[in-house]
Amino acid sequence: MGCGILLTYPEIGIVAGVQGVLVYALSSSLPIMLFAYVGPLVRKNCPEGFVLTHWVFERFGYCAGLYLGILTILTMFLYMASELTSIQALVELLTGMNALPVVIVECVVTTIYTTWGGFHTSFFTDNVQGIMMTLLLVVVSIAMGTNIEIDRSQIATSGLTESTRLGWQLLYILPVAIASNDCFLSGFWLRTFASRNDKELKIACAIATFVLFVYLTLCGFTGIIADWSHLYPGNPPQDAYLAFFLIVETLPAWVVCFVLVFGVALSTAVFDSLQSAMVSSVSNDIFRNKLPTKYVRGMVVVVMIPAIFVALKSPNVLQIFLISDLISAAAMPSILLGLNSHLFFLNGFDIIVSGCGGVMSVFIFGCVYYGSASGGGSLLLLMNGLYGDDWSAFGAFVAAPVGALLFLVASVLFRAIVCFMYAKATGTEVTVFKKPLQSSVETNSVDLISINDQHEYSDEESLRNNGMLVKKVSY
């Protein structure tokens, strides 16, 4: 949870009220349980992996693995940019200073200690982050309760306690967007594979789901409180995503300093996880662990330069998230279908066609909905945002997964027709839907791992340096 949650969740409280806050909080927390049930399936099919792309390389081949790796790196780049955007907004709004030096220092500091400590350092900062987030919410909640006056007559007239069309749209959009996008975040997969066993993985995911829901709901309600206390839209009027800071500015100076320090710490803890995950993804997905770690880290440092540029030029954090969500909603459904043993005939060509087809479907829908190609292009970038007074965003997140699945079926049929024609011309057997044989040795090793189900994995440094997972099986 980076300081971006202090912008996006209060905004939805302003725009969609109580319904929007609860839907957003549930949609952000429940997808964590996806790793509790999909994670063991991926580990069973790829016991020596450590990120999702490792399994994709084995299941669908090199091209599909490279395709997913590029999308994963792009997703983490967008998350880096959004986190830097958030810290920029935090510093500039609470201090009035230029945030560029703070952004640069954060990038430098996280690079130094993640290079020194590897992914274990990121684990440690995540634990510290959880404690700091709890303190932040407790202190700010007490300060708000003792300093903010709510106009109770505003509650009924604000309409924030009523359901809205947007709230019902978000009930579909947000679970699809966030669940598919979480699968692109290597940090989640590194933690999934590092869990001691499936039981502890489920317990951890359940705890995380509950804690996330509580924390994000509290963050979202600050937007509603800002409206009911007449602090929003402010004078001069401010954007909805600044609702939390409109409240903080009215609190005592020591609380403002407290929020500033803790906000920077939260951002740093998230940014180091993104850095470590990107190092692992670049090393494994692009170079297949054959390039020395120091060169990979150097590449990630170079990548942070355009991330800073994007952060400074794009103040809307939510739009950055949405672009990433739309890409993942188009790409992920067909990939996860590969876990189904009955769909063994899917291959890398199908996966790539499906993902590209899902993105193309959004463009086609935008052209039809807006009546122009420029409208289709703007929908791909979600230029009108998520909270527009129309069905464009909803249609985009329907078109992405549905279009992807339709293109997936079309790809399989196309391959089948081509193979049938080739087989007929050469007198050979059609093998598109013929299940490949598995060796008994491989099957036994997988069964043994699933029975004992005790995995201990090394940190990212060992994974990259050795080019494989260090695995320990208890008998």
Tens-digit pLDDT profile for residues 323-351 = 889 999 999 999 999 999 899 999 999 99
Q: How many Cα atoms within 13 Å fall on the side-chain side of residue 95? A: 18
Query: Can you tell me the mean pLDDT for 436-462?
Result: 42
Number of residues that make up the chain:
475
Question: Which is more confidently placed, 474 or 438?
Answer: 438
Q: How far is CA 171 from CA 391, 394, 473, in A?
A: 14, 10, 42
pLDDT at 315: 57
| Cβ atoms of residues 109 and 267 within 8 Å | no
Q: Which of 154-158, 245-249, 357-361 has the lowest mean pLDDT?
A: 154-158
* CA dist., res. 173 & res. 356, Å (int): 20
24's tokens: 């957003």
**Average pLDDT taken over every residue of the chain:** 85
- Encode 51-113 in three state secondary structure: CHHHHHHHHHCHHHHHHHHHHHHHHHHHHHHHHHHHHHHHHHHHHCCCCHHHHHHHHHHHHHH
pLDDT over 50 at 108, yes or no? yes
Question: Which is more confidently placed, 78 or 336?
Answer: 336
* CA dist., res. 471 & res. 83, Å (int): 34
Q: Where are the beta strands (DSSP E) in 101-227?
A: none
| Cβ atoms of residues 84 and 190 within 8 Å | no
| Cβ atoms of residues 95 and 79 within 8 Å | no
Query: Can you tell me the mean pLDDT for 6-14?
Result: 91
Question: Which is more confidently placed, 217 or 130?
Answer: 217
Could you write out the DSSP letters of every residue in 289-344? T-S-HHHHHHHHHHHHHHHHHHHHH---HHHHHHHHHHHHHHHHHHHHHTT-GGGT
pLDDT over 50 at 474, yes or no? no
| Cβ atoms of residues 55 and 193 within 8 Å | no
pLDDT at 54: 87
| Cβ atoms of residues 211 and 67 within 8 Å | no
Residue 86, sorted as left (phi over 0), alpha (psi -120 to 50) or beta, turns out to be: alpha
Instruction: Kindly report the backbone phi and psi dihedral angles of residue 161, in degrees, each rounded to the nearest multiple of 5, phi listed first.
Output: -95, 0
* CA dist., res. 203 & res. 76, Å (int): 26
The domain 5-317 is placed in CATH, from the list 1.10.3260.10, 1.20.1730.10, 3.40.50.1970, 1.10.260.40, at 1.20.1730.10
pLDDT over 70 at 88, yes or no? yes
Tens-digit pLDDT profile for residues 387-429 = 877 899 999 999 999 999 999 999 999 999 999 999 888 888 8
Q: Which of 300, 361, 283 is nearest to 327 (CA)?
A: 361
Rg (the chain; Cα; Å): 24
**Which helix (H) or strand (E) covers residue 472, if one does?**
none
* CA dist., res. 306 & res. 311, Å (int): 8
pLDDT over 80 at 273, yes or no? yes
| Cβ atoms of residues 244 and 222 within 8 Å | yes
Query: Can you tell me the mean pLDDT for 98-118?
Result: 87
Tens-digit pLDDT profile for residues 12-59 = 999 999 999 999 999 999 999 999 999 999 998 888 878 888 899 999
Query: Can you tell me the mean pLDDT for 157-186?
Result: 90
Question: Which is more confidently placed, 437 or 250?
Answer: 250
Query: Can you tell me the mean pLDDT for 364-385?
Result: 90
Q: CATH 1.20.1730.10 in the chain, residues?
A: 5-317
pLDDT over 70 at 454, yes or no? no
